[in-house]
C-alpha cells in the first residue's frame, strides 16, 4: 500500500524533540548487560526460602499443583480462578525437566523442593526478561538512555524483585504486558511505516492476550494500544474512522489469539471459564469476603501508597512528574499511557480487598514515566550548567534506584535465612511426642505436619501429630453457637472470627495440649479489635492460662516490630525483619487431659 495511506502524523516539534538519538551506544549496551545481571541476581538470591514448604498459600495451592495436575488429565485446567497461562508454561518445563508424570509426581510427593525451585527460577528468569523489555519500551517511546534507566529501576524495585522469588503469576505477567506496550509504542511512532504499524498492532494485541491469559487484570494493556491506533488513524487524515476501526478490530483479534494460546479451554469449556472468572470477581469485590486486618480503608490510597515502597518514594514522585510533563508537553503520548493506568488503579482500588502485587500490571508504564522525568531533569541541568550534567546523571540514577536496591538486598538477605516456621517445626519434632494433640494456626501447608518417619508414621494419616481442624467451627462469624451442635466450613480468611476463650477449655478436654500461634493471624485481630473482640480475648486468655515453651521471632534483637500490614507480613519489606516468617509462639496447656 502506498505510504500516502499512512502519512506521518504532524504531531509538532515538541513531540519529535522528546525523542533523543536512537543510534547504538556501546556504553548503553554494556550498561544493559550489567542491569540484567543485577536483576537476575536479586531475583535468585534467597529463592529457596522456606523450602521444602511453600508458605505462600497462592503458590502452594494455585499454580504448581495445578501444573502437576496437567500430567493426569491433560491441558484442561478444570480451574479458572486464575488464568492458566503461567501454569501451562510450568507444565511444559516440568515435562522437559522430569520427563513424565511418574517422576514429577514422585518428586512433589517426597521432597517438593526441586519442583518449587524450578517454578521459582522460571519466575525469576521471566522477571529479568521483563526488565529487558522495559529497556525496549523506554527506548521506543523516548530514547535508549531512558530505556536503560527504566530497566535499572525495574531491576531493583522492591515489588517486582520480592515477587520474582515466588511461583506466582504476577511477575511472569510483566513479560507479555510489557511486550504489548512495546507494540503500542510501535503503533504510536509508526507514521508512514506501514509494516511497523501492522507489526505493532499484532505484537500489542497478542501481548495483551497473553497477559490476560496469565493474569486477567493485565488485559488493561489493550487500552493504550487501542488509543494509539485511534491517534495514528486520526493523524493520517482523510477517512480515518474506518481505518481506526479496521486496525482496532485487528488488535482485538490478535488479543483473542494470544488469549487462546494462553488459555484455550476458556473457549473450549466456556461454562467453567465463566464460573472461574465470576468466582475471582467475587473474591476481590465482595464485602462478605473482606479480609480481617486491612489496615487501610481506601484501596485507591492503598495502591498509591504501595508505589512509595514497592517502587520507591522518589520514583513514585518522578512518575507523577513524568505524567504531568506528558500532559503538558506531549498530549498524544499522555493519552496513550495515562488513562489506562488511572482506570486500572481506580477499578482495583474500589474492590474490598487489595494487595500490593496487584498493581504490577501497570508498573511498566509507571517506571517509564519515572525514567523519562529523571532524564528530563538531567538534560535540563546539563543545558543550564553543562559541567554539572554528568553529576546530575549519577545523582538522578542513584535517587531512582537507591530505595529499591537497599530494600531488595535486605529482603534477599532475609529470604536466605531459615523461616521461623521451619525452625519451630524442628523444635516441635524434637519436643512434642508423636501422636500428641496439637493446634496449629492456618499459616502452614498441610504437608507441614507430615511425619518425617515415613516408614513408621505416628498416625494412620501419615501426620506426626493429631491436628485440631481449624477448617471447621461450631460458631458463626459473630461467635454465636450454631444450633444442634452443627459445624461449618471455615475459610482461612474467617479463622480469626471463630476464636473465643472457651476454645482453650475444649482443647484441654480433648487432649490438644500444644498450641502454635503466628503473628500473621494474631495481629489481624488486633489490627481491627472491634471486628474480632472474641479473638483478642482468646489470645489474652492463652497468654494467661498456658505456658510459653517456644518463641521464634523474625525480627532483629533490638528491632521494633512493624505495624501489621498484609503485604509486609508476606514480603518482609520493613528493615526490622531479620528472617522470613511470622512471630511463632508455642504454648503448653496444663488443664483437663493436659494435666
pLDDT of residue 23: 59
Q: How far is CA 554 from the centre of its chain?
A: 22
pLDDT of residue 192: 66
pLDDT of residue 489: 84
pLDDT of residue 417: 96
pLDDT of residue 465: 93
10-residue mean pLDDT profile of the chain (595 residues): values are: 38 40 74 96 96 90 88 79 90 92 86 94 98 96 94 97 96 97 93 85 97 95 96 80 90 96 86 74 53 78 95 97 95 95 93 88 97 95 91 94 97 97 96 94 91 74 89 80 82 87 94 95 88 92 95 91 89 95 96 89
Strands 437-440, 512-518: pairing kind: parallel
In sequence order, which ranges of 18-63 are alpha helices (DSSP H)? 26-44, 57-58
Q: Which residue has the cell 521471632?
A: 553
| Cβ atoms 465, 430 nearer than 8 A | no
DSSP state of 462: S
pLDDT of residue 281: 65
| Cβ atoms 75, 262 nearer than 8 A | no
| Cβ atoms 204, 252 nearer than 8 A | no
At 516, list the grid cell.
502454635
| Cβ atoms 561, 506 nearer than 8 A | no
At 534, list the grid cell.
472474641
pLDDT of residue 110: 82
Angle between helices 313-329 and 299-307 (to 10 degrees): 100
Distance between CA atoms of residues 506 and 26, nearest Å = 71
Q: Is the pTM of this model over 0.85?
A: yes
pLDDT of residue 8: 40
DSSP state of 518: E
Distance between CA atoms of residues 205 and 341, nearest Å = 17
Distance between CA atoms of residues 360 and 504, nearest Å = 42
Phi/psi-derived region of residue 237, left when phi > 0, alpha when psi is between -120 and 50, beta in every other case:
left
Strands 488-489, 472-473: pairing kind: antiparallel
pLDDT of residue 2: 38
Largest CA distance in the chain: 91
| Cβ atoms 173, 160 nearer than 8 A | no
Domain ranges of the chain: 3-267+291-415, 420-594
Angle between helices 313-329 and 363-384 (to 10 degrees): 80
Amino acid at each position: 500500500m502506498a505510504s500516502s495511506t499512512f502519512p506521518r502524523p504532524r504531531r509538532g516539534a515538541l513531540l519529535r524533540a522528546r525523542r533523543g538519538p536512537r543510534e547504538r551506544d556501546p556504553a548503553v549496551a554494556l550498561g544493559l548487560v550489567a542491569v540484567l545481571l543485577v536483576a537476575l541476581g536479586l531475583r535468585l538470591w534467597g529463592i529457596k526460602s522456606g523450602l521444602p514448604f511453600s508458605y505462600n498459600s497462592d503458590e502452594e495451592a494455585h499454580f504448581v499443583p495445578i501444573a502437576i495436575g496437567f500430567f493426569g488429565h491433560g491441558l484442561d485446567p478444570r480451574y479458572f480462578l486464575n488464568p492458566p497461562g503461567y501454569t501451562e508454561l510450568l507444565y511444559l518445563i516440568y515435562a522437559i525437566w522430569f520427563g513424565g508424570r511418574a517422576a514429577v509426581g514422585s518428586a512433589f510427593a517426597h521432597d517438593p523442593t526441586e519442583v518449587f525451585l524450578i517454578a521459582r527460577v522460571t519466575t525469576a528468569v521471566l522477571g529479568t526478561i521483563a526488565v529487558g523489555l522495559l529497556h525496549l519500551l523506554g527506548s521506543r517511546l523516548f530514547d535508549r538512555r531512558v530505556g536503560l534507566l527504566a530497566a535499572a529501576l525495574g531491576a531493583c524495585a522492591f515489588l517486582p524483585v520480592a515477587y520474582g522469588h515466588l511461583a506466582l503469576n504476577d511477575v511472569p505477567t510483566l513479560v507479555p504486558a510489557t511486550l504489548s506496550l512495546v507494540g503500542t509504542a510501535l503503533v504510536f511512532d509508526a507514521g508512514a511505516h506501514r509494516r511497523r504499524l501492522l507489526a505493532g498492532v499484532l505484537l500489542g494485541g497478542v501481548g495483551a492476550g497473553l497477559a490476560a491469559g496469565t493474569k486477567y487484570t493485565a488485559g488493561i494493556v489493550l487500552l493504550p494500544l487501542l488509543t494509539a491506533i485511534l491517534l495514528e488513524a486520526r493523524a493520517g487524515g482523510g477517512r480515518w474512522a474506518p481505518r481506526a476501526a479496521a486496525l482496532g478490530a485487528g488488535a482485538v483479534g490478535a488479543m483473542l489469539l494470544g488469549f487462546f494460546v494462553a488459555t484455550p479451554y476458556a473457549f473450549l469449556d466456556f461454562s467453567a471459564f465463566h464460573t472461574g472468572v465470576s468466582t475471582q470477581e467475587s473474591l476481590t469485590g465482595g464485602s462478605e469476603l473482606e479480609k480481617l486486618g486491612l489496615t487501610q480503608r481506601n484501596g485507591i490510597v492503598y495502591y498509591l501508597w504501595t508505589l512509595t515502597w514497592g517502587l520507591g518514594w522518589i520514583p513514585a514522585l518522578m512518575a507523577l512528574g513524568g505524567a504531568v510533563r506528558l500532559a503538558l508537553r506531549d498530549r498524544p503520548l499522555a493519552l496513550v499511557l495515562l488513562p489506562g493506568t488511572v482506570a486500572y488503579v481506580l477499578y482495583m482500588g474500589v474492590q474490598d480487598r487489595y494487595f500490593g502485587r496487584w498493581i504490577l500490571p501497570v508498573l511498566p508504564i509507571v517506571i517509564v514515566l519515572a525514567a523519562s522525568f529523571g532524564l528530563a531533569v538531567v538534560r535540563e541541568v546539563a543545558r543550564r550548567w553543562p559541567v554539572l550534567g554528568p553529576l546530575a546523571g549519577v545523582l538522578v540514577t542513584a535517587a531512582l534506584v537507591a530505595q529499591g536496591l537497599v530494600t531488595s538486598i535486605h529482603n534477599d538477605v532475609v529470604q536466605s535465612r531459615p523461616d521461623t516456621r521451619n525452625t519451630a517445626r524442628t523444635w516441635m519434632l524434637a519436643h512434642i511426642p508423636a501422636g500428641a494433640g496439637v493446634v496449629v494456626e492456618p499459616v502452614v501447608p498441610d504437608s507441614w505436619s507430615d511425619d518425617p518417619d515415613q516408614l513408621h508414621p505416628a498416625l494412620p494419616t501419615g501426620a506426626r501429630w493429631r491436628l485440631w481442624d481449624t477448617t471447621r467451627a461450631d460458631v458463626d462469624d459473630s461467635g454465636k453457637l450454631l444450633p444442634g451442635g452443627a459445624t461449618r466450613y471455615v475459610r482461612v480468611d474467617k479463622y480469626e472470627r471463630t476464636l473465643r476463650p472457651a476454645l482453650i477449655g475444649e482443647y484441654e478436654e480433648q487432649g490438644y495440649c500444644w498450641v502454635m500461634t503466628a503473628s500473621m493471624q494474631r495481629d489481624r485481630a488486633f489490627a481491627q479489635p472491634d471486628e474480632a473482640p472474641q479473638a483478642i480475648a482468646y489470645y489474652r486468655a492463652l497468654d494467661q492460662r498456658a505456658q510459653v515453651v517456644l518463641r521464634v521471632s523474625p525480627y532483629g534483637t533490638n528491632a521494633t516490630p512493624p505495624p501489621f500490614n498484609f503485604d509486609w507480613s508476606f514480603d518482609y519489606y520493613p528493615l526490622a525483619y531479620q528472617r522470613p516468617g511470622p512471630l511463632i509462639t508455642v504454648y503448653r496447656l496444663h488443664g483437663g487431659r493436659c494435666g
